[in-house]
Amino acid sequence: MELKLGILVNEGPYTHQASDTAYHFTKAALEKGHEIFRVFFYHDGVNNGTRFTVPPQDDRNLQKAWSELAAKAKLDLVVCIAAAQRRGILDTGEAKRHGKDSDNLAPGFRISGLGQLVEAGIVADRLVTFGD
């Protein structure tokens, strides 16, 4: 039975295991034929969406992994606007609006509001949460 899944990521990429687990769960679900309606990054999870992440060469690069998976599987990666702004993560429009000289949202991610999370909870068969 194929499921339509919503994914909620609440932890940063290098804080806890939650981001890694969310990524691997999403990838495995896609490989099994399930549909991922949306991946929503909230709280510290928004840190998965910064293009300024530079992990050591021998460490995993979750931002790059999410961006590549999004491109391959046409995933909707949504970063919560309020949580992102608090943590200095901005797309081009928000950077300009706030007088910043640069944006740092990674490829494949987009910024939006909590309505996107609510919609995922309504439309998806299951909303799977990773992290507190």
List active site positions: 80
Instruction: Please calculate the CA angle 23-25-28 and round it to the nearest 5 degrees.
Output: 110
Q: Could you tell me the CA-to-CA distances from 67 to 18, 73, 115 in Å, in that order?
A: 17, 10, 22
* CA–CA gap between residue 132 and residue 123 (Å, rounded): 22
Identify whether the C-beta of residue 10 lies closer than 8 Å to the C-beta of residue 42.
yes
**Which SS3 state, helix, strand or coil, does residue 45 take?**
helix
